[in-house]
Chain A
Amino acid sequence: MTDYFTVFGLPRKLTVDADALQRRFYELSREHHPDFHQGTDAARQAEALARSALVNRAYRALRDPLPRVEYLIALEEGREVREGASEKPKAPRELLQEMLEVQEALEEARAAGMTGEGADRVREERARLEARYAAEAEAIAGRAAEWDRLVDGGGDRKPLLEWFKQRLATRAYLRTVIDDLSDALGEREEDHVPHRRH
């Protein structure tokens, strides 16, 4: 299957000119969108549908920095990728101590019926985790240029790839903990699983 970087004629790098990407996306859409192949035969229409679906998926994967890193990792590892996968990530070891504290705060708050000071402490913990969640994104984006230099210079990319993977895993784990805290506080909108766009 055609990889998404190739769809846009891009090298496998993490620095992408967002405006240029969008322009190219619009151009490719004008070429392949089913709207412009309405009068053609069934085979042509099916092809336009498939091409258009590929362009849309490629744009979605490359548009934002973090999904771009996720896609790149999968590509480098030759894995099938799927957006929005909902397996629960495992707790990274470095977070163990913090998680124990969060757990403790949560249990105390539960014992007190999730009101007053206990609930406030859970909210504080959540705010701290949210800040950390945002910081992880910045940290990942911060090393994108380093990756691109390795691609150009031909150095060993493995260690950085591993580092990206760990950061993403940590981030995914933080997300589930934040959501669980919101659930416990009864502050999550029932019909709305948080938005997955990073």
Chain B
Amino acid sequence: MYFVSELVAQLGSDDQVKAYQARQKLADTVGRAAKPAEQNELATALATELTAKDKDKPKHSLTARKETLKLLSVAAGDEQVPALVECLKDLELRMQARWALERIPTAAATAALVKALEQVGPEFLTGVVIALGRRTGADVVAALHKAAQDADDEVRLAAIESLANLAERSNDDVIAAATKTGSPRARARAQKARVRLAETLRNAGQKDAAAAIYKAIAANDADEPQKKAARLALEQLT
């Protein structure tokens, strides 16, 4: 796919019009690849350009690679996950790489996100933790439980909020503990997450577990909106 190489190079053009034209052309091409085989061929070509080297340096500019990652977020599949993982190591690219992995709904992408938690930087880790909140599986739960103990408040609270999306009764132990630590705003975020967890459990058919959490919220020193939400839910459950 020679044109992909040309267009990826053009993504980094200093001429804003040329860069725009390349973005539109590639977005159109990616969008119109309807069949999985076409999508994979295109994604492979994009991933090749993303990681291509020219005398030990990246073949394409940083801007071009960032834009390529945006395209891969809607085009990539499991075969391109290793290329995305490689970009996670690059401080300038890792957020766009996380975005791409976030949109790939496969186990390989989930595993890559779990592994990404071994990296550093609270802002980056917060994003990874949020992305994991849309995944399922024991590895994800374990990773989020660990992140919920992070020294950085934003990472810790993002993990609490992500755990609220996963229908695991044991998550409440972690979230309930978080309602008692940190600043008032941090405690409030944990209370809100607790309400969400109860709803997640209810939607997953675990009504008894949900009811127990709602009752605890209604009875404890949560803020009034959370108590009201718990009361509303309990009315609906009975």
> Do A and B truly interact?
no
Q: Interface residues, chain A, CB within 8 Å of chain B?
A: none
Q: Interface residues, chain B, CB within 8 Å of chain A?
A: none
